[in-house]
Amino acid sequence: MAILSFGQSIPDILEESLSSVVTVGVFKTDYAKHSLGFRGESAPEMAYKEALDLAGVSGSGSGFIIKKNGKLYIITNAHVVENASDEEGSIYIYTINRDKYEVKLIGGDSFYDVAVLEFIDNPGSEISSIKFRDNDIRIGEKVFAIGNPLGEYPYTVTDGIISAKNRTRGGMTGKFGFLQTTATIIWGNSGGPLVDKNGEVAGINSQIAFANTPDGDQILQSQINFALEAGISNRIVDDIINNDGRVKRAFIGLEMSQRYGYENVGGDNYDLVKLDDLPVLSGVIPGSPASSSLSDKIDWEVESVNGKQVRNIEEALGEFEKIVPGSSISLSLKNDTQSSRVSFTTSELKAKELEHIAQYVLNQNKDIVVDYNHPQVKFNMQQSNFYQLSEKEQYRYKMTNKNKQDSYYVLAAGIYADNTKSMWIIENLTDMGAALKLTGSMGVIDFYVLKSGSSEDDIELLRQYLSDDEDIIKSTLWY
């Protein structure tokens, strides 16, 4: 083993890793998210010499420094920095000797929850870099999580083993490609490295697990922790650095949906039950790669993607994420009387394609008329099928009798709920398309809107059920 041949112990490896780990502090935030040698003292002496002063920070997380093409970059989770303002002085990192450096976001991917930052200030000599592991990790291998849990304990190291691989998670973002580990992490560890016994990054620490108690409370499961595995992380980081801040994705041009209803399981408790056994091809975006091949297959069930059986929207999304732009895709579909296999070539998802997604979805809503000549997303409300939500009190009511002459600007879109508040800033149709892709699987979309001529204090929170029925959740995927 490399460790033994070089005479390095686990503490030696970890001490060398410490100087590549940073605390990420966000000082200025927006109203919603944006769609992350030799030293005079030893690393441990510097790391634990004094407390880290995070005064003025609105939020914090962990990160680590890598070198690509001869340049240093900081890797963290997207959720650590996606609320940061675009203003100067919004994001800083703190290194091992508590020096503070201004950095800026060069890009990221909210879906995989990865962000890449670069230095504005010149990095100091106390900083070192760490590399991603380039081979698969095995179940049972020893790993160490390094980060700043709770924003109060920088350079905390916890140990554990790899418990499982290729875990899939729920929610809107960070779904696929997770290592499960017993190396404990907590809030503030987000974005820090999961380091193997050779001092290489096995994954990016991203999520923690909870279990529901009989009375509805949630309990942290400290032995179940998740890190986005190194192979996926490294690919995403390379894309972000080399592709103008974004990950390359295929564009197919289809809408796929699956409906769920509520079933009472006792008292006030309800479970979601499938109303559609399989995902349904519910629409095709005009002019897209799918348009000529799938326009006559609307309302057909989708059985498989590239030969892999899919039982729900999440499994279909997982297969779509594996497709390289410009490559072929094959779908197997069926209706009540026949089956069909259709193949065609994808294109690449860029800003224009996101606009097309937004236009397609907005045009399906017959309750609004969108002003496409305006640079922002602006519409007039017709017979409303929106629900009004309250941020302060738990109620909603269906909106009626809106003045058709009133114009509304969409400021943000996403999900606003007790346990999930993920609202994405909307400045144009491209932002809207990205927010729709991230949110559609939830079956509802919430909007911050502002009526033309109103003050910012009059922002309204609206909800639309994609099924047009609050008793039916229509999980929807646009890809």
C-beta separation of 146 from 195 below 8 A: yes
Pairing relationship of beta strands 301-305 and 114-119 according to DSSP bridges: unpaired
Longest Cα pair distance anywhere in the chain, in angstroms? 77
Alpha carbons within 13 angstroms on the beta-carbon side of residue 194 total: 32
The DSSP-derived string for 415-437 is EE-SS-EEEEE-SSHHHHHHHHH
The conformation of residue 474, written as its DSSP 8-state character, comes to E
Nearest to 442 by CA among 424, 412, 425, 422: 422
Q: Which helix (H) or strand (E) holds 360?
A: helix 351-364
Q: Residue 10 is inside which H or E element, if any?
A: helix 10-18
Helix (H, G, I), strand (E, B) or coil at 6: coil
Query: Would you give the distance in Å from CA 94 to the centre of its chain?
Result: 24
Torsion of CA 449, 450, 456, 459, to 10 degrees: -50
Q: CB-based contacts of 266: which residues, under 8 Å, 6+ apart?
A: none
State whether the Cα torsion 231-71-91-19 is positive or negative: positive
150 close to 192: Cβ distance less than 8 angstroms:
no
Count the Cβ atoms, other than its own, within 10 Å of residue 451.
Answer: 16
Residues designated catalytic: 79, 113, 190
